[in-house]
Amino acid sequence: MRIFGLGDLHVDFPANRALVDDLSAADYVDDVLLVAGDVAHRVELLQATLASVRPKFARIFFVPGNHDLWVTGAATDVVEQTSLDRVDAIGEICRAEGVEMTPGQVGALCVVPLLSWYEPGLDGGEGTNAVDAADEVMRRLGRRWADRRYCRWPETLADDAARCRHFAALNEQILESQVETSSTGALLTFSHFCPRVDLLPDVKHLRFKHLPKVAGTPHLERQIRSYGSRLHLYGHTHIPQDKQIEGVHYINAPLGYPRERERWGREGLRMKLLVEDAQAARI
């Protein structure tokens, strides 16, 4: 049983939808797919995509990305829901479609999806000045940043740092209740958001210079390390990555936007093979 990873499917783009639809119905039926978020803005499309891909794999694990949590404006007609409600709705959809959003044993490995968001603190230090400066950047970005327009949060989760803390606490709860203490073998974690700023290229090479402020959260890195994960798949940045840092293998395998694939000189959908044989647990 192999384990593949893929993120940022963005099937709102017809070209991406076609690539996902074209995934072989025969080649992966004994394999596992980890989907690292950002499948679709529209929840109906998210459901349809999970439903169509699900029979092509033995198991699919999923964590939502920011685009999956858009609930207002042009993204959908549903205006009463918050993005936190959407997380729950996606959980229901996954249960109905047989897609897993909670930890599960796969062969000798334990696969652990980690919920998360992003916060300016990924980039910079815990110092007050750094955080203030980051807040200023976010204020200037303002409603030009699409999540500001299309996500809605309850008052208790009014800022990005509060959302990161909330999802990190949910991860702890889920892990405590669901990862059996008898579970053996290596841990493989995945998230939509980025756990470490040094997984991003130097800012001078970034097209979007504010990316480090909206890329991820250090809560993820803390959890990856404290759970003893050996391999972590993430998404969101749309920057392919395959890097070992201090004993953990970090991989980003985005499908990305059609124009990005053009820029990368890549055609088609390339899932990343994360684990050749889940029974052998060599990762």
Q: Give the footprint of Fe ion on this chain (CB under 5 A).
A: 38, 65-66, 236
Tell me how far, at minimum, the Cβ of 64 lies from Fe ion, in Å: 9
Residue listed under structure tokens 């088609």 = 268
Tokens matching residue 249? 């293998």
Write the burial class of residue 149 (CB in 10 Å: 0-12 exposed, 13-18 middle, 19+ buried). middle
Report the distance separating Cα 39 and Cα 254, nearest Å: 11
Q: Closer to Fe ion by CB, 65 or 212: give it.
A: 65
Tell me how far, at minimum, the Cβ of 9 lies from Fe ion, in Å: 11
Q: Closer to Fe ion by CB, 63 or 157: give it.
A: 63
Q: Which residue is nearest to Fe ion (CB)?
A: 236
Q: Closer to Fe ion by CB, 60 or 63: give it.
A: 63
Tell me how far, at minimum, the Cβ of 107 lies from Fe ion, in Å: 29
Q: Closer to Fe ion by CB, 63 or 278: give it.
A: 63
Tokens matching residue 143? 């409603």
Tell me how far, at minimum, the Cβ of 38 lies from Fe ion, in Å: 4
On the CB side of 92, CA atoms within 13 Å amount to 8
Tell me how far, at minimum, the Cβ of 66 lies from Fe ion, in Å: 4
- Contacts of range 245-250, beta carbons closer than 8 Å, 24 or more positions apart: 245/196, 245/198, 245/199, 248/224, 249/283, 250/195, 250/196, 250/199
Q: Closer to Fe ion by CB, 138 or 281: give it.
A: 138
Report the distance separating Cα 8 and Cα 6, nearest Å: 7
Q: With CA atoms as reference, report the closest residue to 113 among 188, 190, 59.
A: 190
Task: Please report which helix (H) or strand (E) contains residue 241, including its range.
Answer: strand 241-245
**Residue 280 CA from chain centroid, whole number:** 26
Are the C-beta atoms of 167 and 88 separated by less than 8 Å? no
Residue listed under structure tokens 């929840």 = 43
Q: With CA atoms as reference, report the closest residue to 67 among 29, 30, 37, 98.
A: 37
Q: With CA atoms as reference, report the closest residue to 239 among 19, 17, 7.
A: 7
CA–CA–CA angle 115, 118, 120 (5° rounding): 150
Tell me how far, at minimum, the Cβ of 200 lies from Fe ion, in Å: 14
Q: Closer to Fe ion by CB, 63 or 110: give it.
A: 63
Tell me how far, at minimum, the Cβ of 124 lies from Fe ion, in Å: 20
Q: Closer to Fe ion by CB, 59 or 83: give it.
A: 83
Tell me how far, at minimum, the Cβ of 157 lies from Fe ion, in Å: 18
Q: Closer to Fe ion by CB, 63 or 187: give it.
A: 63
